[in-house]
């Protein structure tokens, strides 16, 4: 089976010290780099997404500008296009990543499937063109963008495996709920680095 790796939003604003940093984000960036070093040859396609929000507006209500963020549908300003916060975390080695997507350009966006390359290609086209039938999924945040990407990948008809040691979430309870929802929808939950005695 032809397989792809999806790396979701491993960006400075989502790792420790960022405007929406999650605990364990930097460690996940390094662990994904180790996985890429050992397994990049397993994948016909390696795709990374980034939030890439507009600096000039509230991105369709995504940024909380008139009230405090509710951390459900409104958020503090993050991943503004061209800023350091929108760049990949320095722990993520980009050398094996073949496709880079930007999402949320002026609108709310969670799923990697909502992103496009700089020349306008969408990931659904890339999967179809490469004949990809399986996707391994890693990144940030488990309970938001990883969840949305996994559900979209399943809906797209691909077999999805989520490496639970290569994701980090906003909160433990919502992350566990997201993984349970994904498993119920048909995703496989696995470890990229199996525990050894």
In this prediction, residues 100-105 reach a mean pLDDT of 90
Which burial class, exposed, middle or buried, applies to 95 when counting CB atoms under 10 A from its CB (0-12, 13-18, 19+)? Answer: exposed
Our CA angle for 131, 147, 94, nearest 5°, is 60
Domain boundaries, the chain: 10-190
- Is 79 labeled as catalytic in the residue annotation? no
Residue of 103, 136, 143, 165 marked active site: 103
Q: What is the pLDDT of residue 19?
A: 82
3-state helix, strand, coil in the chain (%, to 5): 30, 25, 45
Quick one: tokens of 132?
């990809």
- Provide the pLDDT confidence category of residue 138 given band limits of 50, 70 and 90: very high
- Is 3 labeled as catalytic in the residue annotation? no
> In the predicted model, is pLDDT for residue 140 greater than 70?
yes
In this prediction, residues 112-135 reach a mean pLDDT of 95
Q: What is the pLDDT of residue 195?
A: 59
Strands (E), 38-171: 45-51, 99-103, 134-140, 159-168
In this prediction, residues 162-183 reach a mean pLDDT of 96
Q: Which of 160, 168, 163 minimizes the C-alpha distance to 186?
A: 160
This prediction has a pTM of: 0.91
- Is 145 labeled as catalytic in the residue annotation? yes
Yes or no: is domain 10-190 CATH 3.40.50.850? yes
> In the predicted model, is pLDDT for residue 134 greater than 50?
yes
pLDDT > 70: percent of the chain: 94
Q: What is the pLDDT of residue 62?
A: 66
pLDDT in tens, 1-12: 899 999 999 999
Average pLDDT, the chain: 91
- Provide the pLDDT confidence category of residue 179 given band limits of 50, 70 and 90: very high
Residue of 143, 145, 152, 165 marked active site: 145
Bridge partners of 47, per DSSP, are 6, 99
């Amino acid at each position: 089976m032809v397989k792809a790796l999806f790396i979701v939003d491993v960006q400075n604003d989502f790792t420790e010290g960022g405007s929406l940093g999650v605990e364990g984000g930097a460690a996940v960036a390094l662990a994904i780099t180790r996985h890429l070093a050992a397994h990049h040859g397993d994948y016909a396609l390696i795709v990374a997404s980034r939030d890439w929000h507009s600096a000039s507006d509230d991105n369709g209500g995504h940024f909380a500008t008139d009230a405090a963020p509710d951390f459900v549908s409104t958020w503090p300003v993050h991943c503004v296009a061209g800023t350091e916060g929108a760049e990949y975390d320095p722990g993520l080695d980009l050398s094996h990543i073949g496709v880079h997507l930007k999402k949320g350009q002026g609108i709310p966006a969670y799923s990697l499937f909502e992103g496009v390359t700089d020349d306008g290609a969408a990931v659904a086209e890339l999967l179809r063109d490469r004949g990809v039938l399986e996707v391994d999924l890693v990144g940030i945040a488990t309970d938001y963008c990883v969840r949305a990407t996994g559900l979209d990948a399943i809906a797209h008809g691909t077999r999805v495996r989520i490496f639970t040691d290569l994701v980090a979430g906003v909160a433990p309870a919502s992350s566990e709920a997201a993984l349970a929802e994904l498993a119920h929808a048909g995703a496989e939950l696995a470890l990229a680095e199996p525990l050894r005695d």
